[in-house]
Chain A
Amino acid sequence: MKAVAFAYARATSVVNALELLAAHGDKAKVLSGGQSLMPAMNLRLLSPDILIDIGGLAELRGIAVRGDVLVVGALTRHVDLLGSPEIALHAPLLRDAVAHVAHPAIRNRGTIGGSLAHADPASELPACVLALDATIVVRGPAGERRIAATEFFKGIYETALSPDELLVAVEVPVAGQGTAFFFQEYARRHGDYAIVGLAACAVVAASSFSDLRLGFFAVGDRPVLAAAAGKLINASVTPALLAEATAALADELDPQEDQQATAAMRRHLAAALLRRCAAALLARPELEKGATR
């Protein structure tokens, strides 16, 4: 488990990183926290010729509020999301989610940019940015592109990023009045990738949802913004309606089977999460049991 020999360049600026990427094309890999890239290289699943280390780029760090947008730099580490007052105030979903990502040693290094660019369908943060309706900011040779989170994830480890682009930041709309969040996942052990998880963002008014965005993860080849949420918006949520929504959810999801769970089990757990989410956000515990059983 030793990586194939590779060259290493420490980028001095975003511009420099982009130059290096342009020069080496898909023979290069960006190194951020290294928590996904290095294991893959040690297992020889990946063998880039050169690593471009962006770890020293201050321009990619930091969390700031600009108007009604929270800007999170690509190099923001998981541990920073956990501790940041801005995140706690404006996007607590990220804080709640990141508590489920791996373990402290990994959270001390792993970055939000790396997590999104890596696009593991079982990852927490990609589902969160879907639920939060965030925008992914990328820079390439032709300048800056802004990609809606819903357009960013293309498949297992696949995104809208091209090899010569750098993910530089994530923009999250600041949470407004009545916005509520829910995060829960089922994982065999604390810190494991989830079997199924849900990151949800809702606007609750008068005991019903005036908006509901359900970001499911580990249910397919990419995070899924469930259309089934539509059934619960601006409606009186009864156990029967919830059952209808969970049935629609089961149809909509196309989960894979792996060693932890069959597709049927993933659908079952996704439905349980949806019930728990509705029960929690509407503060109606009786909804959790559902009408199914």
Chain B
Amino acid sequence: MTVTRPPAGMLSVLDRPNSYIGKTVPRPNLDRLLQGRGQYVSDLELPRMAHVVFLRSPYAHAKIVAIDADVAKRMSGVISIVTGRELEAVITPWVGVLSHLKGLKSAPQHAIAVDRACWQGEAVAAIVATSRAAAEDAMEHISVDYEELEAVTDMRTALDPATHVIHPSLGDNLAFERTLNAGDVDHALLGSEVVEADFVFGRHTGVTLEPRAVVADWSAAEGRLTIYQGTQAPHMVQNIAALHLGLREAQVRVICKDVGGSFGIKVHIYADEMATYALSKLLRRPIKFVADRVESFNTDIHARDHRCRGRIGVRPDGTITAFEIDDLTGIGPYSMYPRTSAIEANQVVNLVGGPYLTPNYRARARVVFQNKNVMCQYRAVGHPIACSVTEGLVDLAAARIGMDPVEIRRRNLIADDAYPCASPSGMKFEQLSHHASLAKLLQMMDYDALRAEQAALRAKNVHRGIGIASFIEVTNPSAAFYGVGGAKISSQDGVAVRLDAQGSVICQTSITEQGQGSESLTAQIVGSVLGVSMDRVRVTLGDTDNTPYGGGTWASRGAGIGGEAALQAAKALRQNILDVAAAILQSTPAELDIVTNSIINAGDGAPRMELNELARIVYFRPDTLPPGIQPELMATRHFVPRQYPFAFTNGIQASWLEIDTDTGFVTLLKHWVVEDCGTIINPQLVDEQIRGGVVQGLGAALFEKCIYDERGQLTNANMADYLVPMSGEMPDIDIGHVVSPTRESELGAKGAGEAGTAGAAAAVANAVNDALRPFGTKITEIPLTPQVILTALGRI
């Protein structure tokens, strides 16, 4: 498809009377959800449905010598107990690699462990019973004879020759390594001050309100598997389920209604979900699996467990001369399927230094196996690491040369008129707005006044800090992300729009909704472009039988890609409607328009005919239409970005906080974000996406961490000990925008869903160091717990 944008100053297809674009309109699904009428898989009941509970390995690494389920099998309510070996008959194992991540290796992973469990929490047997409680009762009576094996837990020693190799067939514990060398780092560092630091990140996880949930229903009569699942990517699930169950894709239907949060957690294929599909086929009845909270902590993907050594070169005038990183991450025993666990480290390499001018950049990233839960893509994949390292280094460099953190950024951020351009890692930027964003941020936060306040309070022994973090964000991914590596994960999306017999619109889209507003943005775009009021637009999502084929919602792609498909489909339908209207009204399409559900004269706005009247004629009295007219009141369009692999966005965040140096407690006082996601479809949805994302980043900064002991036991797998950020600790978050639409689409929207998460932790870490500057401490570890701060201050 070729896309043209009108030259500046001309009205676009979006600038129409009664347009919903750029307006805060309530989301169409709000009343339904607030009145408790959501349809979550967790609540789904089907006739003859059984429940599965997984017996999970208590060891991080153990040989499964024998499983004795005789007593459990005879317990009341138990339907079947199935081991990995038995399930192998119905489902094949998989290997989570992609060909464009050169050298990435992993071992075959089974739906249920066969012979060996590789992390604490890996499923070892399935108990299927008439209720979850009955299955849990039976589970207590299964005895497994384990032989504990040496567990690899510390990523720093995973590659040592003395360390046990988790998968002997792979030769070592190195899953993936990437190096990059751009410009001339050594030369650049020669004449520079060099500052170096080790950045340490806590492993964390998504903690969705509704845990992972699936009901799989194999109908032997139809030879068809229906999967009800809270997923971000229904067509991907269809493809993978079919592939490993030996079915054609047409034999698998994936239905995804309401999803209680996902944050990237629900875009993967989990072993226990695969086991649930297989169990349904094996036992020929609907099977339900809903992870409980403890299972969620032990098996929902983790992320962000990185240790990254960073170096920056800076000249006395503030010029940043080079960035260098050496990143290490431990991903658990398998690379996750099918998106792999190398993407996060790969993104870190891609993104470090991204906002800045220097062409000199050297990086190494190593991804190692461990006997811990698997890590994979979670909201803002790799961005928080890259941003924390980059922005932490920039602040350290500024401190070294005695320059204000704002000034060093002003001198080094890529100029707003320098686009298009590329980063040293080869990322192509179409149009970013770092300087405009910085200027807006300073104005919003009244930077100079805040600095004065900080100085005044310091004299009173009150320690406040300001932290700033610029960032870039990958959105609207093309096939470059997964498709080129061989994954059957679509990067294009489709939307079908049709006018019904009363002039309302039904719209099917392949993007999905997990609370971010996909349904709303689709209705807003379709309503605006067609000239139909939003209450007459019905959006259907999440059903592989009933929507066009597409990728779903992840990597901040819903609005930019699915939204453009909606726009083009609505344009096509509009044209079709005007053609029919012209025939009925003996006019020409160019002389007519559709506004607020009616055909009007484009020239004087005079009403000519209501849409429902047009629909009545088309559907019930086609005999009255002029000969040769065959109305098509349905149109379908697809879209995928082709020119740029990703639509990069940018933004900047700032944090203002206070530290009690006696106790180590941090109080967040205020947070600001300026971001540029191009065209804004619904300001409220965008702002709330950013706020929610910021809160996740603040959780990383201060609270969240999966704590493993040296034997690979996750020791805080519950909501009391794993601290998610809560409203009581959150500051007000002010949001501003700069708008640089992408020219790859007529809509001009880029993604906004991950921007908040990308930079929040970096801003907080910089603010903490700023507050503690008088004490000469430097902390480059998150979460910034009171224990960490008091230790750095030498108080304990």
Contact = CB atoms under 8 A, between A and B. Distances in A.
B190 interface: no
B662 interface: yes
Contacts of A2: 131-133, 136
Interface in A4-23: 4-5
B136 A269 contact: no
B703 A189 contact: yes
Contact of B729 (A189, A195, A261): A189
Given A1-B294, A268-B795, A269-B663, A191 B728 contact: yes
A264 B293 CA distance: 32
Contacts of B703: 188-189
A259 B716 CA distance: 8
B796 A268 contact: yes
Given A186-B786, A259-B715, A260-B787, A5 B133 contact: yes
Contacts of B723: 188-189, 192
Interface string A174-190: 00000000000010111
Nearest to B295: A1
Nearest to B718: A43
B796 A272 contact: no
A4 B137 contact: yes
A44 B716 CA distance: 17
B728 A190 contact: yes
B726 interface: yes
A205 B723 CA distance: 43
Given A268-B795, A268-B796, A44 B707 contact: no
A262 B137 contact: no
B146 interface: no
A259 B721 CA distance: 8
B136 A272 contact: no
Interface string B693-734: 000000000010001000000011010110101101100000
A1 B54 CA distance: 12
Kindly name the residue among B707, B716, B786 whose own CB sees the greatest number of chain A CB atoms within 10 A. Answer: B786
A241 to B, nearest CB: 19
A1 B720 CA distance: 15
Contact of B726 (A190, A264, A272): A190
Contacts of A58: none
Given A261-B787, A268-B790, A186 B292 contact: no
A293 B716 CA distance: 35
Interface in B747-796: 785-787, 790, 795-796
B94 interface: no
B665 interface: yes
Contacts of A44: 136, 140
A189 B726 contact: yes
A280 to B, nearest CB: 14
A219 B796 CA distance: 16
A191 to B, nearest CB: 7
Contacts of A191: 726, 728
Contacts of A192: 720, 723
A190 B703 CA distance: 13
A261 B786 CA distance: 8
A193 B725 CA distance: 15
A188 B664 CA distance: 11
Contacts of B790: 265, 268
Contact of A186 (B663, B718, B721): B663
Nearest to A191: B728
Interface residues of B, number: 32
Nearest to A268: B796
B641 to A, nearest CB: 41
A59 to B, nearest CB: 33
Contacts of B461: 289
B131 to A, nearest CB: 8
Nearest to B729: A189
A269 to B, nearest CB: 6
Nearest to A187: B665
A109 B364 CA distance: 54
A206 to B, nearest CB: 29
Nearest to A267: B796
Kindly name the residue among A189, A190, A195 whose own CB sees the greatest number of chain B CB atoms within 10 A. Answer: A189
A189 B665 contact: no
Contact of A265 (B716, B726, B786): B786
Given A186-B786, A189-B703, A262 B662 contact: no
A5 to B, nearest CB: 7
A293 B461 CA distance: 13
Contacts of B663: 186, 269, 272
Interface in A90-133: none
B787 A186 contact: no
A39 to B, nearest CB: 9
A249 B665 CA distance: 22
B729 to A, nearest CB: 6
A195 B796 contact: no
Interface string A257-291: 00111101100110010000000000000000100
B796 A265 contact: yes
Interface in B276-297: 292-294
A286 B288 CA distance: 62
A71 to B, nearest CB: 32
A262 B796 contact: yes
B137 A272 contact: no
B732 to A, nearest CB: 16
Interface string B187-213: 000000000000000000000000000
B638 to A, nearest CB: 43
A260 B729 CA distance: 17
B665 A262 contact: no
B787 A262 contact: yes
Contacts of B785: 188, 260
Contact of A190 (B715, B720, B729): B729
B787 A1 contact: no
Nearest to A271: B662
A190 B292 CA distance: 25
A5 B132 CA distance: 12
Contacts of A4: 137
A1 B298 CA distance: 14
Contacts of B716: 259
Contacts of A265: 664, 786-787, 790, 796
A259 B786 contact: no
B506 to A, nearest CB: 40
A98 to B, nearest CB: 16
A151 B559 CA distance: 64
Contacts of B131: 2
A286 to B, nearest CB: 12
A272 B796 CA distance: 12
Contact of A1 (B293, B715, B728, B795): B293
Contacts of B728: 189-191
A225 to B, nearest CB: 23
Contact of A259 (B293, B294, B707): B707
A5 B137 CA distance: 9
Kindly name the residue among B132, B294, B716, B723 whose own CB sees the greatest number of chain A CB atoms within 10 A. Answer: B723
Contacts of B729: 189-190
Contacts of B787: 260-262, 265
Contacts of A193: 720
A88 to B, nearest CB: 23
Interface string B100-143: 00000000000000000000000000000001110011001000
4 A-B pairs with the lowest CB-CB distances in the bound complex, closest first? A190-B728, A2-B133, A1-B292, A264-B796
Interface of A: 1-5, 43-44, 186, 188-193, 195, 259-262, 264-265, 268-269, 272, 289, 293
8 contacts: A1-B136, A2-B133, A5-B137, A190-B726, A190-B728, A259-B707, A259-B715, A262-B796
Given A188-B723, A191-B728, A289-B461, 17 more contacts: A1-B293, A5-B137, A43-B294, A44-B140, A186-B665, A186-B786, A188-B703, A189-B703, A189-B723, A189-B726, A189-B729, A190-B728, A193-B720, A261-B786, A262-B787, A265-B786, A269-B663
